[in-house]
Amino acid sequence: MSKCRVRTFSVEETRRVGEIIGSSVPEGTIILLSGDLGCGKTTLVRGIAKALGIPEDEISSPSFNIVHEYDSLVHIDLYRLDSIEALEDLGFEEILLDRRIKVIEWPQMAADYFKESGLPIIKISCSFCKDDEREFEIVDTVGKICQKLENKFRSGGFYVKDS
C-alpha cells in the first residue's frame, strides 16, 4: 500500500488531476472517492472520464440515478442509498467485477464489499477544501500506482505533498 497527496488551486486543475488518474489506472480499477459535499468529487470524475474518451459534459453527479454507465467507466454515487439490500438490487457485486473503471462516490455504505476483495482499489479523499483549493489524499492498495501518479503530477506542475 502507498499514499500520495496532491493539491489543486482551481476547478481546471482538479479536472486535470482527474485526467492524470484516469490515464494511469489499469482497467477494472475501483476508485473510492470520498469527501464533503462540494469538495470537487464530480469535477475529478469529469477529468477521469475525459482521459477515457468520454465527453466531460456527459458526466453529472448521479445522486438521483445512483449508477451512470459509459463504455469505459461506471460512475456510482451511494449518497442517497438507504440500505445494503438496495446495493444488492443494483447488482453491485457484478458491477465491481466489470472490467471498466469504477468510480464510487460516498463508498462508506459499501465498505464491506471492498474488504479483502483482491480488486485493485484506489481511495481518494478530499482532505482539504477551501474556495477553489483542494487537497486529495490517494491511497493505493495495490502499491504501484501512487509513485506513477506522483511523477505525473510533478511533471504536470502540481503541488505534491509528502505523505
DSSP E strands in 64-117: the ranges are 67-69, 73-77, 101-105
Contact (CB, 8 A) for 31 and 124? yes
The predicted pLDDT at position 2 comes to 85
Quickly state the pLDDT bin for 147 (edges 50, 70, 90).
Answer: confident
Residue 137 pairs with which residues in a beta bridge? 5, 125
CATH number at residue 90: 3.40.50.300
Domains identified in the chain, total number? 1
pLDDT in tens, 29-88: 999 999 888 888 889 999 999 999 998 888 876 556 788 899 999 998 888 777 777 778
Contact criterion met (CB below 8 Å) for 52 and 101: yes
> With 60 as the cut, is the pLDDT of residue 8 above it?
yes
Buried-state track 9-45, b at ≥16 Cβ within 10 A, e below 16 = eeeebbbbbbbbbbebbeeebbbbbbbeeebbbbbbb
Query: What residue numbers bound the domain in which 110 lies?
Result: 2-161
Looking at residue 95, its amino acid is I
Give the C-alpha separation, 19 to 108, whole Å: 24
Distance CA 25, CA 31 (A): 9
Instruction: Fill in the DSSP letter of residue 82.
Output: -
pTM check: above 0.75 = yes
pLDDT of residue 74: 93
pLDDT tens column, 74-99: 998 888 777 777 778 878 888 888 89
Q: Tens digits of per-residue pLDDT, 107-123? A: 887 877 777 666 778 88
Q: What's the full length of the chain, in residues? A: 163
